[in-house]
Amino acid sequence: MAKLAPSRAADAIDAVIDYLIPTSTINRRFWAPGKEYNTGQYRPYPVTIRNARRAEEPITLDTHGFCLSSQPSAIRDFRDADALGGYPAEVIAITQRLTGADLVVPMGGQLRSPVISGTGIQPPAAEAHVDFNTRSAQKLARRLYDTAAPDGLGYDRFIAFSLWRTFSAPPQDWPLALCDFRSVGDEDAVANVKVDVDEIPTGDALFAPIPGEDEMMAATIFHHNPAHRWWYFPDMTADEVIFIKFHDSDHARAWRAPHTAFHDSSRPDAVTRESYEFRAIAYFSKTARPA
CATH 1.10.3470 is right for the domain spanning 12-207+216-285? no
Quick one: pLDDT at residue 64?
98
pLDDT confidence of residue 289: 42
Whole-number pLDDT of residue 36: 87
What pLDDT sits at residue 34? 79
pLDDT score of 290: 42
For the chain, give percent helix, strand, coil, nearest 5. 20, 35, 45
pLDDT of residue 116: 64
Can you give the pLDDT of all 291 residues of the chain as single tens digits? 445 555 678 899 999 999 999 999 999 999 998 788 999 999 999 999 999 999 999 999 999 999 999 999 999 999 999 999 999 999 999 999 999 999 999 999 999 987 765 556 676 778 999 999 999 999 999 999 999 999 999 999 999 999 999 999 999 999 999 999 999 999 999 999 999 999 999 999 999 999 999 999 999 999 999 999 999 999 999 999 999 999 999 999 999 999 999 999 999 999 999 999 999 999 999 874 444
Q: State which H helix or E strand residue 276 sits in.
A: strand 275-285
Of the candidates 255, 241, 229, 276, the one whose C-alpha atom is nearest the C-alpha of residue 17 is 229
**What is the reported pLDDT for 237?**
96
Residues 189 and 244 sit within 8 Å (Cβ to Cβ): no
If phi over 0 gives left and psi between -120 and 50 gives alpha, with beta otherwise, what is residue 3? Answer: beta
Q: How many Å apart are CA 106 and CA 149, to the nearest integer?
A: 13
Q: What is the pLDDT of residue 73?
A: 97
Selection from 148, 78, 71, 67 nearest residue 110 by Cα? 78
Question: What is the pLDDT, as a whole number, of residue 120?
Answer: 61
Global confidence as pTM: 0.92
**DSSP H stretches of helix in the chain:** 61-64, 87-99, 134-148
Closest to 128 (Cα-Cα) out of 46, 221, 36: 221
How do 189-196 and 218-222 pair as beta strands? antiparallel
